[in-house]
Structure 1
Amino acid sequence: MRSFLTRVLPVAAALALLCGPAVTAPPAATADRTALSIPDKPGLYQRVLTRPDARLLTLPGGAAAPGPALPALSVLYVFDRRAVQGKDWIEVGAAADAAQGWIAAAQAIDWRQTLTLAFTRTSNRDPALFFRDHDRLTHLLEAEDLVPQVDRLRAEVKTGRFPADFPVIAKEPDTYIDPNEQFYLLPILAFEPVYLQSGHETMLLKVAAVTLQAGEQDLLGTDTAVKPTPKPAGKPETKPTGKPSASRPAGYRAGVVFVIDTTTSMGPYIDRTRAAVRRIYDKLRGSTLGERLSFGLVAFRDNVEAAPGLEYVSQVAASLEDGRDPATFQAKVAGVKEAIVSSKGFNEDAYAGIQDALERIDWSGFDARYIVLITDAGARDANDPLGRTGLSAERLRLLAQEKDQSGGGGKIAIAVLHLLTREGRQTHEGATRQYRELSRWGDAGDLYFPVEGGAVEAFGTQVDTLADALLRQLESASSGRLIEVPEGPKVDPLERKTALVGRAMQLAYLGRETGSRAPRLIEAWVTDRDLIDPTQKTLEV
């Protein structure tokens, strides 16, 4: 489990992530029992969260059970509560049918809601602030001068110099933490809806968080002086700014795999895609960025049993490893041609191409990861007997976002360039639904980009815009700047959406790379919406 909040009392250093111990079960159970139910809620069990250094005892007030202290925020079921010599104890177990020992009640937090929170992506908002108590946060939300007050708090957090009773005790990290990639637990202890003068409703949430900082001795509520965590060797500090700042960008690499329909009539689009990649390689020739951007290509057609002349359903024409060298890539994809026979029906097995791009391409070592689907047809869906994968658009998207992270990368974003040709007009409506679902991504909504009329020239413009946008993102990340998200009515939606995705990937990269210590255990109040802009969600259940 990862520690993740930045403690701002008394030091407002912007810290990143420290891998904490895995949540392990206490020693073996002593008897088969059933946990206590929540009063008036039969079937719902009482649970507690452990504080740091909680130890399991064989009897209340007795000797410690074998093994180390329980990890902070271990989730345990409650089997009994008892007072011994004026001190309260709780009998607990890791499963609802097996008591395993006792812990001091003071070392546990009752967890009645059994709900947890996750941060939303931080690409377009300031980090959330965590407050010492409910009333200070409520008064702030009701203040007529809310905006200047919040601005002052953020400015003071940035300086690290503020009084002992400063209302803010922690802040969200500047870089996004993906809970699928780096698990953290942010349990809800209490909640209260509040209606704002803006007309929006926000939820006040009391939460607990595991944090640990060098030199800290006490839990939340003390004003013990805490020394800043020493900077890890070879790692510069993350800058404590209100907006995220890029750091350690040197190794940032981007991988782009085109998944292209190679059925009949697709020849001009195949050629234009090759030309777009060649143009980018020419731009990068002699630049150090050339080593940080790689292309791959997967070609797909359709069911070969229904139409044997198609030769293949899907094949990897060039891997990302091939794409590290322009000459190798061009040689590999030179033989990619359109089919000479038609498939059965207009839809093709685009999902087979996506699956091969996910599973047969080695994405390790790439921090920005993109699949670009290019097709003029709909896809063989999960229930289509001619489809190879048996997967839906939603499942493929989830596979892309759950891709194994052991290689040190992040989620894979899927973009779709859908050629709305006259020949395929009967499939446009269904294909649009499929590809919007396949390409959904956080703040960007979806990465679905239709090419009206399917004109090769218009398609070429889209491909060049996409390639140039990715190149600019790589240049920004590699030079230590955060990727900018262009705004305004004249901004190309493709450019803006890919920038949103690129920034999210960059923030996730920084979250992985800027390792540091985090605070210890806090209980604090936070809102699920931005303090100044309530249209921005900061946390979600």
Structure 2
Amino acid sequence: MPSLAKLSLRSSVAGCALLAAVPTTLLNALPAAAGTSYQIQCQETGKPCRETETLLPLRVLPRPSASIFKSKDSAPGNVAVENVPAFRPLFVFAREGVDYTDPTNPKGWYQVGGGEATPEGWMPAKDVMEWRQALVVAYTHPGVGREARHPVLMFDNQAALEQIALGKDRESEAGKIYEAVEKGEKPKSVVSIEPKRFADIEDNFYVLPVLDFKSVTKFDDETRLLQLAAAVPGKRSDETNQTTLGNAAYAQASAAKATLSGDAAKGLRVDIVFVMDLTGSMGPFVESTKTAITDLTRAITKDPMLKEAVRFGIVGYRDDLRVEPKLEFVSKNFTPTLLQDTDFVSVIDQQVRASAVSSDDYAEEGYAGVKTALNETAWTDGALRFMVMVGDASAHEPGHKQSTTRLSAAELRHMANDQHVSVFSVHLKAQRYAKDHPKAEEQFSTLANNPGTSAPALFSFDADKPDEYATVVKQISSQLSELVDAARKGREVVPDTLSESATVLSSASSTAGAPAGGDAELKDEGWNPEARQKELLGPQADRPEVKEQAQKINEVAAAALINYLGGDTVRDLTFWAMDRDLIDPRKKALDVRVLVSKTELNDLIGALQKVTDALSTAEVAQLEFFTALQSVMAQTTTGTPIDFEKAQKLSQTELMPKWIEKLPYRSAIMEMNNATYEALTPDERVTLEQSLQSKLQYYVEVNANVDAWKVLDGRGADTAKVYALPLDALP
């Protein structure tokens, strides 16, 4: 088993590099020692082996064409399970005689099973690879248009990858490989390539375990060369469907671009949910929204096909009722079931209004509105999902007395990603509150930082110009509606082209299914999006800034289409790849994640709650950090005191779960002690506590999201479900 090389991840929190709240360094794993258990516990019969330091269950990845045997005998008549799916993780229940002295011919046996409950038999050490630390990677969104990244190239050995990635002619040599693949050729040492159709780990769950990696410092940002295995639960390869470039069918399929056409186009639906500040200052904009949506429905209702395919919703937010009960609600979903155009207009006309009562401060509970929209909306299955966040003030950050969600914009963005909700932010700037603008702008930008786009989908307007705001509301709703109309009328839409266009019309690369007369006949039949947008927007349609807004809207729609169209990934092979675009290393291609079970996440929730309580106690009572932590632990546990002579930092208190303490990454919060806490300024302490509180609440939200949890192996119990937690979501 190869040892892991160093892997660094840079970040900072609270303006203090020492106290980063996200991982900063992946450390060396312990090398496999010949003939030893190298800190693996396998004492309990019928229970999975666990790594001594992390207490994570030990798993192995079967090699292709391997079998499980009834006993430690590989005779043909002793087979229990033939042709085990390659690289699909199996739990280890016992290790006997394992010896990696000769890495090409390991000795010994593993007792394995698909779930944690019961072993199924034995596999020779030569037929499996140990997979520790639960580290996997996920493909990043490939992007659209000029900002799109290149597909991941997969090499059969490390040296071949290094020759390209670290060579003087990297860009040229990588370009030649891509050109060869496009021609249907198989370049030397390149075993496969990531398909152009995006495989999203949230929808089409796959496992790309990290077996080995090496950091390189050639580029401005730290880059990693990764050895990965590939597996897709429930699917496996055979001689006819291998996902390699040696398979002509796969090579051809992998080169196919994502294009909206056929059944996928005819079944396209769109959900558009407005999340609006409904405090008193927003009165004019509430009315502008009503007018804009009413104007839009006049166009939609003319076409029954379009009317049926577009659904609307609205969520209002105000502020914490504990401060001002007369505000009536913190957040309210007026449309838990999304509505067609005319029904939606009736709801906003009759029910949606700005409050006549002022809140306690300028900031509002915008995060509550976003959370309500995400969690309490019956989003249409299979639809493109969009949220339009509208407000004139910043939101209360976690830790603020009026924060009801304890979430930050970053964690809400994670939640939106999990549910495939694209966000447009509309920030209305009142000059008298100019001091709030930078904070609100940062929050709105984070929420609107949609995967695959070149910049946040943020629109900022002078609060004294509600007409300009109304224009962008009409644009967002009408352009998304026209996209559905184009698809349903048989036009082929290419996301890359759409992302660079200001109209849906110019995004169509063909007229598949269109009348024989082409575009002219489509327009004669009533399909003329340019004319309809000009009718809707009036003279403003030709203004340069309005066209820029249109292009930004189309880019978000194009990125969402990439997700909608989806695709499969490689499976049942091992390979080396770079975690960044080989031609443009500025672009990330692979994100490192850690697979956690519900038990492991619950352990983290309990421990992190104690840490945040200790930070709060230390601040309020003016205590040293460890003293406050000991006080919190005494109230929630047996009160075993911390031995300060041994525990010089948080990681040595045995409070945090062992699996996170010993994972091969380092978070500086684990280095916290009295001295580092004392060195923080008051503002840094507040920011640190807010960050941890937000992550804690995010874990709670993930735990409750049934759809987020995936089964690694269909034979495993429900308790074996895992979630691929991004490393930047760890404390």
Q: Which bin holds the TM-score, normalised by the shorter protein? A: 0.7 to 0.9
Report the AA paired with residue 459 of structure 2: F
Deviation at 1:304, TM superposition (A): 4.4
Deviation at 1:61, TM superposition (A): 0.9
Distance 1:98 1:33, change over 3 A: farther
Deviation at 1:148, TM superposition (A): 5.3
SS state at 2:561 partner: helix
Say which of 112, 124, 136 aligns to 1:104: 124
Report the AA paired with residue 56 of structure 1: I
Tell me, in whole angstroms, the C-alpha distance in 2 between the residues paired with 1:110 and 1:428: 52
SS state at 1:266 partner: helix
1:153 corresponds in structure 2 to 177
1:360 maps onto 2:369 in alignment: no
Deviation at 1:207, TM superposition (A): 1.6
Tell me, in whole angstroms, the C-alpha distance in 1 between the residues paired with 2:328 and 2:51: 63
Deviation at 1:257, TM superposition (A): 0.7
1:462 maps onto 2:487 in alignment: no
Report the AA paired with residue 69 of structure 2: L
1:289 corresponds in structure 2 to 306
Instruction: Map 1:427-506 onto structure 2 (within 5 A).
Output: 427-444=436-453, 445-471=455-481, 473-474=483-484, 479-483=491-495, 484-486=498-500, 494-506=549-561
Tell me, in whole angstroms, the C-alpha distance in 2 between the residues paired with 1:35 and 1:307: 52
Distance 1:397 1:192, change over 3 A: closer
SS state at 1:464 partner: helix
Instruction: Map 1:7-406 onto structure 2 (within 5 A).
Output: 30-31=45-46, 47-52=59-64, 54-61=66-73, 70-73=84-87, 74-77=89-92, 79-82=95-98, 88-93=107-112, 101-111=121-131, 114-123=134-143, 124-141=148-165, 147=171, 149-160=173-184, 162=185, 166-194=188-216, 202-210=223-231, 216=239, 228=249, 240-241=254-255, 243-247=257-261, 248-287=264-303, 288-304=305-321, 306-318=323-335, 321-322=338-339, 324=340, 326-335=341-350, 336-403=352-419
Asked if 2 retains the 8 angstrom alpha-carbon contact of 1:113 and 1:189, the reply is no
1:416 maps onto 2:429 in alignment: no
Distance 1:270 1:519, change over 3 A: closer
Q: Which runs of 5+ in 2 are unaligned?
A: 1-43, 100-104, 503-543, 593-731
1:527 corresponds in structure 2 to 578
Deviation at 1:190, TM superposition (A): 2.5
SS state at 2:265 partner: coil
Bigger shift: residues 300-309 or 180-189:
300-309
Distance 1:201 1:490, change over 3 A: farther
Distance 1:472 1:194, change over 3 A: farther
Q: Which has the higher helix share?
A: 2
Give the structure-2-normalised TM-score.
0.57
1:73-113 CA-to-partner distances (Å, cap 9, x unmatched) read: 21444633358xx9933224569999874202232124467
Asked if 1 retains the 8 angstrom alpha-carbon contact of 2:214 and 2:226, the reply is yes
Distance 1:441 1:306, change over 3 A: same
Of all paired residues, the percent bearing the same amino acid is 26
Deviation at 1:120, TM superposition (A): 0.9
Q: Which runs of 5+ in 1 are unaligned?
A: 1-28, 230-236, 404-410
SS state at 2:499 partner: coil
Asked if 2 retains the 8 angstrom alpha-carbon contact of 1:113 and 1:190, the reply is no
Tell me, in whole angstroms, the C-alpha distance in 1 between the residues paired with 2:241 and 2:385: 42
Tell me, in whole angstroms, the C-alpha distance in 1 between the residues paired with 2:177 and 2:422: 36
1:219-258 CA-to-partner distances (Å, cap 9, x unmatched) read: 89997xx5748xxxxxxx9965375434432212111111
Asked if 1 retains the 8 angstrom alpha-carbon contact of 2:152 and 2:193, the reply is yes
Tell me, in whole angstroms, the C-alpha distance in 1 between the residues paired with 2:405 and 2:215: 45
Tell me, in whole angstroms, the C-alpha distance in 1 between the residues paired with 2:169 and 2:406: 56
Asked if 2 retains the 8 angstrom alpha-carbon contact of 1:255 and 1:370, the reply is yes
Tell me, in whole angstroms, the C-alpha distance in 2 between the residues paired with 1:428 and 1:495: 24
Distance 1:497 1:190, change over 3 A: farther
Distance 1:490 1:156, change over 3 A: farther
Tell me, in whole angstroms, the C-alpha distance in 2 between the residues paired with 1:214 and 1:316: 46
Deviation at 1:502, TM superposition (A): 2.3
Asked if 2 retains the 8 angstrom alpha-carbon contact of 1:373 and 1:416, the reply is yes
Distance 1:34 1:328, change over 3 A: closer
SS state at 1:399 partner: helix
Deviation at 1:199, TM superposition (A): 6.6
1:292-341 CA-to-partner distances (Å, cap 9, x unmatched) read: 2222112233344544443333333345632x2x2212111112222223
Deviation at 1:119, TM superposition (A): 0.7
2:598 corresponds in structure 1 to none
Distance 1:199 1:412, change over 3 A: closer
Deviation at 1:218, TM superposition (A): 10
Deviation at 1:458, TM superposition (A): 3.0
Report the AA paired with residue 118 of structure 1: A
SS state at 1:106 partner: helix
Asked if 1 retains the 8 angstrom alpha-carbon contact of 2:423 and 2:448, the reply is yes
Report the AA paired with residue 60 of structure 2: V
Deviation at 1:362, TM superposition (A): 0.7
Report the AA paired with residue 120 of structure 1: T
Deviation at 1:364, TM superposition (A): 2.4
Bigger shift: residues 344-353 or 209-218:
209-218
Q: Which has the higher strand share?
A: 1
Bigger shift: residues 60-69 or 129-138:
60-69
SS state at 2:272 partner: strand
Tell me, in whole angstroms, the C-alpha distance in 2 between the residues paired with 1:154 and 1:460: 45
Report the AA paired with residue 90 of structure 1: W
2:636 corresponds in structure 1 to none
Report the AA paired with residue 135 of structure 2: L
Distance 1:117 1:376, change over 3 A: same
Report the AA paired with residue 417 of structure 2: Q
Report the AA paired with residue 358 of structure 1: L
1:507 corresponds in structure 2 to 562
Asked if 2 retains the 8 angstrom alpha-carbon contact of 1:255 and 1:366, the reply is no
Distance 1:218 1:272, change over 3 A: closer
Distance 1:339 1:490, change over 3 A: closer
Report the AA paired with residue 188 of structure 1: V
SS state at 1:339 partner: coil
Tell me, in whole angstroms, the C-alpha distance in 1 between the residues paired with 2:325 and 2:242: 69
SS state at 2:129 partner: strand
Distance 1:276 1:33, change over 3 A: closer
For the aligned residue pairs, the C-alpha RMSD in angstroms reads 4.1
Bigger shift: residues 46-55 or 369-378:
46-55
Asked if 2 retains the 8 angstrom alpha-carbon contact of 1:476 and 1:482, the reply is no
SS state at 1:355 partner: helix
